[in-house]
Structure 1
């Protein structure tokens, strides 16, 4: 196995499990303001302990990781179909539709760790509406909630596209997979830019180089608000706002707007500290801690690789084994097909 292959496996697993770590670490503090967190955890929450608003078991997936799993399984199905099928069947395989189908299974209660038929403990409004529309229409291009709704619910699940799609396909599928729930350009372009950053990190680019690539994509797609959010993220000092508060001289909102999450994730990526310390500070900001943690954790994992994620965190993750097996399987199929 070549060093480049080893790097790709490490960073791919790091990215997926980075999402899961950020989600599971942040779930404990979801909806809490920074002021309450700093009193209870002056140095930040350093362990995955569960609990929180929805009383999660330690390491359990929330909607962030669950819907990342939905997209991951869609890419597994695509690669297996490609391996077994004709050129025509590959062309006809719609990754966005497959991801929407798995997401709908999650919404309807056909999901590991859930009582059959039960609703998710936590589901965003746009995601719920988009999946309701998809159930009725079965068309991922028509189910999105429309312009004006720009929550972070598609950015939190988008990372498999950055890991397993290439070239123009990556950009198109980032937009399409966002669009079956969140089709506002702020969301679709955030996903496209984020996934270009992920792909660049996996390919060995530096964080600064990767961020420049992300800005190039948002500029090309004509969404100035996404470009501005990335630039603002470059200026944020994560450790400072985590210790002084999100409004301690730097106006940073931590709630569920997609551009808030994108800014914070860029700041985390460019933070020179370890995966662990940077992610703890993202969660320490408060607000939408699980989703901000998931989105930032994906970039940090793609930057640092799985070896630099604390083993004590990995050991608690609900989907660790499955994510490792599915991701490795996809990479092997891609290698076989050239």
Structure 2
């Protein structure tokens, strides 16, 4: 289990670090000058190997799960990061989404953690999807899909409480859980579709909301052309783009570089895709130079070790 956790955490962080220097670059500009290595500076003027809030908040969640499932502790860790006390790459926060910033203020005011995230349609950025991966390891032995959904909903809602964000996280977590069963990635994708479809049979969720997920749940997202895949900071785009990259490329390296070179929210698309590819291909199949260049690499290994001992 330790190797899977390490692979997942490094998978997220390396993907994130590859995308940080070119965040907000257009797809057309990256087609002319694609990212092929771990570079630095650029958009946020950070050294090579620097990860963003995506990895920071994933690590804060993993840190909290080392002590069990405690929403108050998760929220407290997020605020500690926001105040630059926990899991920043260089001791300062340089990137944060609007919805996450608003949630930090709500947490600091003492609001119930799962009521701190935005509930409006406009609050559907990718800020909970980008950090949800560590929850997969905590839920690996859980057989009750309802329990899985409720725990995903609670963890997402700390920063993103709208159904769309919650459901995107749920789909991603279910897919990761299938991958952890050592299935082929296409077989795992089909099983995720089946599991989610069965879950929906007993629910009365808003059919308009469910319809938004048709491309990933009813169709084969991997069969769409690149022009039909969007890579903005909208949670549905991030989910589709990350799964599309994972299913259409045959290594960790190819998956995350493609995610970055889609442009737009480069670090987050690559972090989310990197989580999938990390647990599937394993850390032993990631470029060693990227692992070595990653900021706080030894701290991440230590976190994976501590989490594996608690799960």
TM-score normalised to structure 2 length = 0.88
Q: Tell me how far apart the structure 2 counterparts of residues 307 and 333 of structure 1 sit (CA, whole Å).
A: 23
Distance apart, 1:231 and its partner CA: 3.9
Partner SS, residue 145 of structure 1: coil
Distance change (3 Å), C-alpha of 1:99 and 1:259:
same
Q: Tell me how far apart the structure 2 counterparts of residues 113 and 263 of structure 1 sit (CA, whole Å).
A: 28
Q: Tell me how far apart the structure 2 counterparts of residues 101 and 19 of structure 1 sit (CA, whole Å).
A: 22
**Higher mean displacement: 302-311 or 211-220:** 211-220
Distance change (3 Å), C-alpha of 1:11 and 1:252:
same
**Higher alpha-carbon Rg:** 1
Alignment-derived partner of residue 166 in structure 2: 188
TM-score normalised to structure 1 length = 0.82
Q: Tell me how far apart the structure 1 counterparts of residues 89 and 258 of structure 2 sit (CA, whole Å).
A: 31
Residue-by-residue CA offset, 1:276-297 (whole Å, 9 max, x unaligned): 1121111111000000000000
Distance change (3 Å), C-alpha of 1:328 and 1:203:
farther
Whether the aligned pair in 2 keeps the contact of 1:235 and 1:267 (CA below 8 Å) is yes
Alignment-derived partner of residue 128 in structure 2: 154
Q: Tell me how far apart the structure 1 counterparts of residues 174 and 16 of structure 2 sit (CA, whole Å).
A: 21
Q: Tell me how far apart the structure 1 counterparts of residues 211 and 100 of structure 2 sit (CA, whole Å).
A: 22
Partner SS, residue 58 of structure 1: coil
Residue-by-residue CA offset, 1:227-268 (whole Å, 9 max, x unaligned): 424248833468x63xxxxxxxx3222110101011111112
Whether the aligned pair in 1 keeps the contact of 2:241 and 2:259 (CA below 8 Å) is yes
Distance change (3 Å), C-alpha of 1:224 and 1:10:
same
Partner SS, residue 258 of structure 2: helix
Whether the aligned pair in 2 keeps the contact of 1:215 and 1:227 (CA below 8 Å) is no
Whether the aligned pair in 2 keeps the contact of 1:29 and 1:52 (CA below 8 Å) is yes
Distance apart, 1:226 and its partner CA: 5.8
Residue-by-residue CA offset, 1:127-147 (whole Å, 9 max, x unaligned): 111111111134112211113
Distance change (3 Å), C-alpha of 1:277 and 1:237:
farther
Distance apart, 1:11 and its partner CA: 2.7
Distance change (3 Å), C-alpha of 1:65 and 1:140:
same
Q: Tell me how far apart the structure 2 counterparts of residues 100 and 179 of structure 1 sit (CA, whole Å).
A: 10
Distance change (3 Å), C-alpha of 1:97 and 1:329:
same
1:97 aligns to 2:72 (yes or no): yes
1:274 alignment partner, one of 251, 267, 283 = 251
2:302 alignment partner, one of 309, 325, 337 = 325
1:74 aligns to 2:64 (yes or no): yes
1:109 aligns to 2:99 (yes or no): no
Distance apart, 1:37 and its partner CA: 1.2
1:57 aligns to 2:50 (yes or no): no
Whether the aligned pair in 1 keeps the contact of 2:14 and 2:51 (CA below 8 Å) is no
Distance change (3 Å), C-alpha of 1:115 and 1:62:
closer
Whether the aligned pair in 2 keeps the contact of 1:163 and 1:198 (CA below 8 Å) is no
Residue-by-residue CA offset, 1:169-198 (whole Å, 9 max, x unaligned): 443222111001101111111112211211
Distance change (3 Å), C-alpha of 1:217 and 1:190:
farther
Residue-by-residue CA offset, 1:24-82 (whole Å, 9 max, x unaligned): 001111000011112223xxx1211121211111111201010111101011122xxxx
The number of equivalent residue pairs is 298
List structure 1 segments (4+ residues) > 4 angstroms apart after TM superposition: 112-116
1:230 aligns to 2:203 (yes or no): no
Gaps of 5+ in 1: 1-7, 79-93, 242-249
CA RMSD of aligned residues (A): 2.2
Whether the aligned pair in 2 keeps the contact of 1:155 and 1:258 (CA below 8 Å) is yes
Alignment-derived partner of residue 178 in structure 2: 200
